[in-house]
Structure 1
Amino acid sequence: MLAISVAIACSRGSFDTVVHSAQERQPFAGVTIQLWPWSIECDHKLENPYVTAGNRVYSVATQNGEFSEIGWRQPHEMSGVWDHPIKLLDGFWFGVSYGPATLIGPTRKIHWLTQATSWRMMPGEVEITYQLPGLDVVRQEYGIDDHEGILVRLLLRNREQKALDLQLHFLAHTDLRAAWLGEKRLVWRDGQDEAIYLDEQACIAAYNTVNPAYVLFGARKRPAAIAIGNDPTVMKQTPGHGISGHLRYALHIPEAGSEKMEYIIAGSTHSSNEASATFARLKDSFEELAQKQRQRYQNIVERCALRSDDELIETAFGWAKLNLQMLERVVPTIGQGICAGLPDFPWWFGKDTTFTALALVASGQFELALSSLRNLAHHSLIVNNNGSVVHEILTLGHIHDSGHMVEVPLFVRACYHVFQWTGDQQFLRDIYDFCVRGLQYVLDSTGPDDELCATGKGMIESRELQSGQGFKTLDIAAYTYQALLCLAELASAIGDNSRVSELHEKAQRIRKFVNTAWWLPEENLFGDIYSSVQEITAAHNLLRADGPLWPGDLKELEHTAAMLARYTEQHRSDETSLKQSHPWLLKHMIAAVPMETGLASREHATQALTRLESDEFTGPWGLYLNPERQPVTMTLPNGIMAAAEAQYQRMDQALTYSHHIARTLEQQMPGAFSEISPNGGCFIQAWSSYGIIWPVVHAFFGFQPNVAQHRVSFIPHFPTTWQTAQLHSVRVGNSSMELEVAKSSQDARIVLETQDLSYEVTLGYTWLGTTMPGRVTLNGEDVSFHTEVFHQGREDDETAQGCTLQIPTTRGLQRYELHLVW
């Protein structure tokens, strides 16, 4: 994984037939967006962070090219260059001094490249531009997948009317330390770093004197001078046990001429020989590896490529796909899969992976989805022997949290959708028994009178709801319902047919129970938890005794305690009611989950979604985590709301929540979506893509494949503001399909093209209103159809009705064009 810098000319590939000119858009102040070829450029707030990403090594810096002291998990340490499970460098800097080289005497003033004029990202490449007296400098970086290193190129252009003699400075400061908890949980004592100059490779090599950790840095040109040691006159020094290496190179640039310098940073978590070999390989194959990385990211852009008259979603959709690849983390012998986010969560999580897997398969990134789920299952089988899914896997191999109950049904759901898209029979065989055991573990955690609603830790990671064994939470119940239906489909696919009817029956029991026992008609919402006064009080007492409690914990307990006091006052004469379980409304974002999963009845869904859309629950950036206890917004709840709205054909509302995520595109790292909206937490977060990619593909386009059975369903339902949109090169198993929808007040045209004639295709169209089309044709020929009316509100309200039309399934064609004319 190396960062390579190269000027870009993005290949359009198969899109040459579709795209004829670059499109430049500026939906955000100070940010310029270009599509086909893709780039995003910023000239303000350059103190914000970005990542140069490879799946082995990545670098986190500011858009000025500085390495600020950021981080929560390891305070002040999460920027720099990382080769998990170790850090390589606190940072690296470039500088320019004017005049010829001198062997003796003080160094001339160094103009360090730490104040940029602009920052730009393209698929697989980052570019930072600086202006110095008479000189333009462009810094280009690349992360190279599957290699322990990054590459950087400097392009220097002389603006003077005379030749320039320059000294180019390359300074790096090592910090060969372990990732979070390494020193506390593993036998890793941070020793002092030492360094030497390797004349044969013309680079500085540093190593940790206690642990096997190594880093090499240098250029493809020999330096004129070398200095090793921490010299405060050169650049600010960082804390820790690192050491600085300073390489100086002499350049002569003729009038109006240009020059380039190419740098390599390589590391190893095992041996100096490996680090040396990586450095040599990157040095010798600089441009080849750079081009390979650019092409890898370009392929992601071109696969499942959205073209839409919604410019914001089209832009966010493309960058959401690229974000996913930026977050792949490969640590040999430990794990491989998508990490949660940067800078603070560069390892693997259960919840994050299970949501992100849906975005991965829908965008054609099958391999990363498969490896991510296999990684979770592998570590879960090692640590847990009960079918539960681990929550947090560190790159050191340590399981920091062995799992939350909700992650089991989420895992089953993710496996189902990944199998639907890939048709990977080996994956199904490998994962099926684990899914069966997992859901049985969930069902075994239920009480006799709770209709299969399990007690455990859910989505809300608060002290109140995560204490002890947790509560019966709404999200666990709803995801269990959905997972039972998903497992029934997997059971049928693998031939375990005897299990199917039982799984359906259990799912319906949960659905009926939650829609009756958990619904609060006076609130038009489901309760967050299902418990008794005594159980909640006992949990609170244990939590207070456990201590210490932070202000946020106390606020949470006080809110619930006040609610319990009101209830107790109302029922003080009824001892039975204090012992009985019933729903409690805590107003957490999990209120949306019954709609996301389709568990809620249509009547309950309409009432609940209407309240959640109100100013009480939804702010300027989307759904609050909790309007009373934690009125902040994160991208995942917005994604859940988008999926929930779409589940009940409320596409305009679904689009609103996807827009909430998309509008954060320029807030920190342009092209990435922060964990906390608009610009808090991790500056790039994997699960953010779920709320953009999944609603577009699964709901708006209504595209749902079943690769194992060679079937696809394509029944789009566009938001009212969408008129035309296409998805190009949609990956379906080993095939690829082209999807297009165009609608007007007079007609709608739905087109699917494929080279694989074996697929059975179900076509249809969904619209608001119940006026039937006067003519329906397939490839110009009249075709029979059937329709189904749905209701977005009360069944007697004709203004809130819609209709889904479907024609008989067919196969054997290369092009399917369904045309509805009103």
Structure 2
Amino acid sequence: FEWLKYNCDWLVRTVPEIGSGITAGIPDYPWWFGVDSEYALKGYMAIGQTEAVYNTIALLDSLSEATNGNGRIVHEVSTNGAVFNPGNINETPQFASLILEVYRWNGDKAFLKRYFPTVKKGLEWLMTENDLDGNGFPDGFGMMEIHGLDSEMIDVASYTQRAFADAAAMASELGENALADEYNKKAEKLREAINSEFWSEEFNSYADFIGTDQQALHLIEDAIVRADTLDKPWAVAELDATKKAILANPSETPRPFVLHHNWVINTPMEMGIADPDKALKALETAETFVNPFGVFVTGIDRDESAGSDDGSFKGSKIFSYTGAVMTLPTGVQAVAENNYGRPDQALNYLRRMSRTFSYALPGSMYEVSPDYGMITQAWNIYSFAFPIVQQFFGIQPRASEKKVVITPQMPQAWPKASLEHVVMADNAVSVYYETTTHGYKIRVEQDQPGWEILLRLRDESEHQGSMNIVGKEKGIPRDGYYEISTTESELEVQVSFDPS
């Protein structure tokens, strides 16, 4: 975690007359990317490297405006300013969510006012230009760079849903209440549609995409060649069975397909929009597409180490993203596990990634686990900082309200842990956690008394026995939590359980 902060600093690249921003990776990608930054900058905010965040957002916004002019966020830009890809579909909604995330940390309304016009234009472009059938799911390439995967993708749908929810919050902050209501309705409609139209009961998983039978059959043929080349007979058999099922039960309208088991099928859990019962099934399914170092990018590539938590693994001696296990999918899975109250499983994914620490050089972590790709990668900080800062320690800033919500959920393997000097606006908080004989104790300190600290402790009495909270302030039960609040410089509570 400490060394990833240094990695973040290494990746900043400043070019006179163009701008400054974080690059995707070293050594092959020392230029700027939209989506890589959109993941990574959430982690940068959590570790307090705000200058890089503001500079990168300004750079992406200016380059996108000059290139597209319609709110679409660019994907890949050389440091000479040449745009290689004007933007994949997922990058525009993810920019919207990044802006709200940064605003929650800095509380700077001028920042929000500066970028909300781009957010509004981007969402208009997203739905007007890319949702031709009007069902709320934009068509086009998302995170998976597989030829033909450009229909209605699960990651694009998930990030679009989150973008409308986040844009609604921004509109409300800026007094655009009618727009906030419109965005909220779209977000809720999309959440329901994702859980009904993308879900596959047969596979206990969300689908890779929604498309026509013709699209699916073409992709299946390519996937069979890929699986056969990689000697994955189980995948060939599964794909053959899917092909026969499609031919036996044709559909004239688009429908969901589970073909590749790509990591993006976990984005509904990463965004917290999956229904809890579906989420738990999907998280269990995802555990079969991992190896000792993390999550396979494309599930049909999994090898004999799949599902294993131990043993050695040797990758290809020739660089390739085929068959890859990558830190971003693994980090996304950690975030997803935490969203559904499973910190032990989340920590397991962080430990898998950590097995590659210092493989390339002291203090660095590869992009592709254990030893492929970039020796330093920007989005690695998202994969660690978001689960640690905002989920294990539960630090969720609301800087515009001069408030910080702390909802800790510590993995059992961490009986004692602290996170100090987490910066938000003009304040900083530190959280100290320690288990005791019959429970645990938590202390929160802040630099600026007057901010509200709202500590939310999960009500675990159903499983642990009656829950007793001892501290200066009284806990108030609300929605399955006990909430304890103060505006003083310190809040300390001790929690114990009485099994009898």
TM-score, scaled to structure 2? 0.88
2:247 alignment counterpart:
569
Taking a change above 3 Å as real, the CA distance of residues 445 and 773 of structure 1, as seen in their structure-2 partners, is farther
Question: What does residue 453 of structure 1 align with?
Answer: 137
Secondary structure, in 3 states, of the residue corresponding to 1:776?
A: strand
1:815 and 2:490 equivalent?
yes
CA contact (8 A) 1:776 1:821 kept: yes
Deviation at 1:817, TM superposition (A): 1.1
2:88 maps to which of 394, 404, 416? 404
Count of matched residue positions in the alignment of Structure 1 and Structure 2: 470
* Change in 2 beyond 3 A, CA 1:553/1:432: farther
SS in 2 for 1:611: helix
CA distance in 2, matches of 1:402, 1:554: 34
Which residue of structure 2 aligns with residue 521 of structure 1? 201
How has the CA–CA distance of structure 1 residues 748 and 436 changed in structure 2, closer, same or farther, with 3 Å as cutoff? same
Given that residues 171 and 177 in structure 2 are in contact (C-alpha distance below 8 angstroms), is that contact kept between their aligned partners in structure 1? yes
Deviation at 1:678, TM superposition (A): 0.8
Separation of aligned partners in 2, 1:767 and 1:639: 27
| Matches of 1:570 and 1:599, distance apart in 2 | 33
The alpha-carbon deviation at position 786 of structure 1 amounts to: 0.5
% identity of equivalent residues: 29
- SS of 1:649's equivalent? coil
For 2:131 and 2:147, the matched residues in 1 are separated by: 23
| CA–CA separation in structure 2 for the residues paired with 1:784 and 1:805 | 5
Answer whether contact 1:534 1:578 (CA < 8 A) is retained: no
Pair member with larger Rg: 1
Q: 1:375 to 1:553 in 2, by over 3 A?
A: farther
State the secondary structure of the residue aligned to 2:324: strand
More strand as a share of residues: 1
TM-score, length basis structure 1: 0.55
1:600 maps to which residue? 274
Q: Measure the CA separation in 1 of the matches of 2:241 and 2:81.
A: 43
Partner AA of 2:194 in structure 1: V
Superposed counterparts of 1:512-661, under 5 Å:
512-536=192-216, 562=240, 565-571=243-249, 577-614=251-288, 617-629=289-301, 630-661=322-353
Match for residue 754 of structure 1 among 446, 449, 457: 446
* Structure 1 residue 461 displacement after superposition: 1.1
Distance 1:498 1:569, change over 3 A: closer
Consecutive unaligned residues of structure 1, counting only runs of 5 or more, are 1-316, 790-803
* Maintained 8 Å contact 1:635/1:675: yes
Residues 661 and 688 in structure 1, CA contact (< 8 A), matched pair in contact too: no
Distance 1:777 1:445 in 2: 56
Check 1:756–1:326 CA distance in 2 against 1; reply closer, same or farther (3 A cut): same
| Residue 728 (structure 1) shift | 1.2
Q: How many angstroms does 1:635 deviate by?
A: 0.4
Aligned to 1:370: 54
1:517, CA displacement in angstroms?
1.3
The higher-RCO structure (CA 8 Å, 6+ apart) is 2
The 5 Å alignment of 1:229-308 reads none
CA distance in 2, matches of 1:561, 1:585: 7
Q: Whole-Å Cα distance in 1 between the matches of residues 227 and 33 of structure 2? A: 23
Give deviations 1:286-307, integer Å, cap 9, x for gaps. xxxxxxxxxxxxxxxxxxxxxx
Paired with 1:766 and 1:373, the residues of 2 have a C-alpha distance of 35
Secondary structure (helix, strand or coil) at the match of 1:476 reads helix
**Equivalent residue for 1:478?**
158
CA distance in 1, matches of 2:115, 2:424: 20
Does the 8 A contact of 2:130 with 2:138 survive in 1?
A: yes
Deviation of the 1:659 alpha carbon: 1.2
**Which of 381, 384, 401 is the aligned partner of 1:709?**
401
Gaps of 5+ in 2: 302-321
Contact 1:568–1:578, Cα closer than 8 Å, also in 2:
no
Question: Matched residue of 1:628: which SS?
Answer: helix
* Matching of residues 30-69 of structure 1 within 5 Å: none
Q: Which residue of 2 aligns with 1:50?
A: none
Superposed displacement of residue 536, structure 1:
4.3
Deviation at 1:580, TM superposition (A): 3.7
Task: Give the alignment partner of residue 775 of structure 1, picking from 463, 468, 475.
Answer: 468
1:152 aligned partner: none
CA displacement 1:1-25 (0-9 Å, x = unmatched): xxxxxxxxxxxxxxxxxxxxxxxxx
Question: For residues 561 and 387 of structure 1, what CA distance do their matches in structure 2 show?
Answer: 38
Does the CA contact (< 8 Å) of 2:227 and 2:300 recur in 1? no
| 1:709 Cα deviation after fit | 1.3
Q: Which is richer in helix?
A: 2
Q: Deviations over 1:516-544 (max 9, x none)?
A: 11111011001100011134467899xx9
Are 2:483 and 1:806 aligned? yes
Give the CA deviation at 1:698: 0.6
Aligned match of 1:732 in 405, 418, 424? 424
Match for residue 357 of structure 1? 41
Instruction: Name the CA distance, whole Å, in 2 between partners of 1:356 and 1:504.
Output: 26
Deviates more, 1:526-535 or 1:356-365: 526-535
| RMSD after superposition | 2.4
> Given that residues 441 and 492 in structure 2 are in contact (C-alpha distance below 8 angstroms), is that contact kept between their aligned partners in structure 1?
yes
Distance 1:745 1:644 in 2: 30
Any conservation in 1 of the 2:460–2:467 contact (CA below 8 Å)? no
Amino acid at match of 2:160: T
Deviation at 1:584, TM superposition (A): 3.5
2:126 matched to which residue of 1? 442
User: Letter of the aligned partner of 1:382 in structure 2?
Assistant: A
Task: Tell me how far 1:568 sits from its aligned partner.
Answer: 3.8
